[in-house]
């Protein structure tokens, strides 16, 4: 799903809002079902145009409700100090993409509860508005729409409270287990198992529904169930890796002593003595004992081959080294953003002003795969 493109709608409270292309499928499905099925059944004798307007207005209001649900999560998370990359609407609803995970169970509990709490609150508001308009004998089509929005928001709230990771209820369960045991990883494992169980239960309901009652509406349950159990499994695996990396310092995995190149070396010599047969792909450039840049084969390739003997490493090196220096005690999980190939790709470990080593992506990958092999 995430490999489908998303369209940026704008920003709300400083958080970018996106719609994934898959969302249009569900939008059409809901609008058509409401227009041609649900509303004509609930309220007879209206024109097709009326049903179509009701269908579209209701679908838009429903997705606005989903957006409000996501923003409840996001704003609470941000108030708790977490960074929110974006909010995306997609085929199964909404998702708030956080750049980091909560570090305390209390914050996770409040953050996870905020979404379903908001949905249930919205349900109550739509219900009360419908009741009030009914008392004033307002147009029935408006009341039918409000009632539907009350029911759908209540369903969203209750469904998300199912206690399996990655649903909100699963995050609430994880927060409670985490607070009790003090072990985030164990709490994630149990909450993820519950997520897998709920996924299997949803699939079973769909299979039974189709086999015994020929109710094909329930196939949606199977799709949801498959999706949830898949996410539960990956979420746990990611947590395992992250927790491992949080226990290892950069000093433990860095390549030391750092292999450096001198700033006045020519690209010709650099290519022969470092890139051919060298075990690194990026090197710190040093002049008078201090690091002045970073060089890799791509930087050299920007220069014509004929000019390599007369061009120095310093001429082509990347000189923006901001956020590339860390202390030896820094944990590996916190340097992952810098190791992104689109950014620096390496981190310099500096101890008392001296360059003591380098950590590259390869060092982290080696650490992760070693962990996999060394289990007794």
Residues that bind Zn ion (CB under 5 A): 115, 160, 168
Closest separation between CB of residue 70 and Zn ion, Å?
A: 7
127 or 159, CB closer to Zn ion?
159
Closest separation between CB of residue 96 and Zn ion, Å?
A: 8
Query: What tokens were used for 340?
Result: 């992104």
Cβ neighbours of 349 (radius 10 Å): 25
On whether the CB atoms of residues 176 and 109 are closer than 8 A, the answer is yes
CA dist 110 to 53, 184, 261, Å? 37, 16, 51
Name the β-bridge partners of 336.
none
108 or 168, CB closer to Zn ion?
168
Closest separation between CB of residue 239 and Zn ion, Å?
A: 19
Residue 209 CA to residue 348 CA, distance in Å, equals 59
Closest separation between CB of residue 92 and Zn ion, Å?
A: 11
CA neighbor of 359 nearest in space, from 249, 278, 277: 249
Closest separation between CB of residue 308 and Zn ion, Å?
A: 56
Residue 2 CA to residue 6 CA, distance in Å, equals 9
Closest separation between CB of residue 160 and Zn ion, Å?
A: 5
Closest separation between CB of residue 216 and Zn ion, Å?
A: 27
Closest separation between CB of residue 175 and Zn ion, Å?
A: 14
What size, in residues, is the chain? 376
Instruction: Give the 3-state secondary structure of residue 90.
Output: strand
65 or 360, CB closer to Zn ion?
65
On whether the CB atoms of residues 324 and 338 are closer than 8 A, the answer is yes
Output the residue with the shortest Cβ distance to Zn ion. Answer: 115
Report the alpha-carbon angle 120-121-122, nearest 5: 90
Residue 31 CA to residue 28 CA, distance in Å, equals 5
65 or 160, CB closer to Zn ion?
160
What is the DSSP secondary-structure string of 27-59? HHHHHHHIIIIIHHHHS-S--HHHHHHHHHHHH
On whether the CB atoms of residues 255 and 355 are closer than 8 A, the answer is no
160 or 360, CB closer to Zn ion?
160
76 or 267, CB closer to Zn ion?
76
110 or 145, CB closer to Zn ion?
110
168 or 363, CB closer to Zn ion?
168
169 or 357, CB closer to Zn ion?
169
Residue 128 CA to residue 311 CA, distance in Å, equals 75
Instruction: Give the 3-state secondary structure of residue 12.
Output: strand
Contacts of 298 (CB under 8 A, 6+ apart): none
Closest separation between CB of residue 199 and Zn ion, Å?
A: 17
């Amino acid at each position: 799903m995430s490999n489908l493109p998303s369209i940026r709608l704008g920003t709300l409270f400083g958080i970018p809002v996106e719609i994934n292309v898959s969302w249009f499928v569900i939008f059409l499905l809901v609008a058509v079902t409401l227009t041609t099925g649900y509303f004509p059944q609930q309220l007879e004798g209206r024109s097709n145009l009326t049903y179509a307007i009701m269908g579209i207005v209701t679908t838009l209001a429903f997705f606005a409700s989903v957006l409000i649900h996501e923003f409840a999560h996001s704003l609470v998370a941000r108030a708790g100090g977490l960074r929110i990359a974006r909010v995306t609407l997609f085929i199964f609803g909404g998702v708030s993409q956080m750049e980091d995970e909560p570090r305390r169970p209390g914050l996770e509990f409040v953050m996870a509860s905020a979404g379903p709490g908001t949905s249930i609150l919205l349900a109550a508001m739509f219900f009360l508005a419908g009741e009030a308009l009914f008392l004033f004998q307002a147009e029935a089509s408006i009341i039918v729409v409000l009632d539907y929005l009350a029911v759908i928001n209540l369903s969203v709230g209750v469904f998300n409270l199912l206690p399996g990771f990655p649903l909100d209820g699963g995050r609430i369960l994880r927060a409670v287990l985490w607070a009790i045991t003090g072990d985030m990883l164990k709490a994630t494992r149990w909450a993820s198992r519950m997520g897998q169980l709920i996924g299997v239960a949803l699939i079973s309901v769909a299979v039974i529904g189709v086999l015994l009652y020929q109710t094909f509406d329930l196939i949606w349950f199977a799709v949801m169930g498959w999706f949830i159990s898949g996410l539960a499994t990956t979420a746990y695996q990611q947590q395992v890796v992250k927790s491992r990396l949080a226990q290892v310092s950069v000093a433990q995995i860095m390549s030391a002593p750092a292999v450096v190149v001198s700033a006045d070396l020519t690209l010709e010599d650099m290519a022969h003595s470092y890139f051919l047969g060298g075990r690194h792909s990026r090197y710190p450039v040093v002049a008078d004992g201090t690091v002045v840049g970073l060089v890799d084969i791509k930087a050299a390739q920007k220069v014509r081959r004929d000019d390599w003997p007369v061009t120095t490493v310093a001429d082509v090196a990347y000189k923006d080294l901001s956020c590339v220096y860390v202390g030896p005690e820094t944990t590996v999980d916190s340097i992952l953003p810098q190791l992104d190939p689109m950014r620096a790709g390496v981190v310099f470990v500096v101890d008392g002003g001296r360059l003591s080593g380098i950590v590259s992506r390869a060092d982290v990958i080696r650490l992760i795969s070693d962990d996999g092999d060394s289990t007794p």
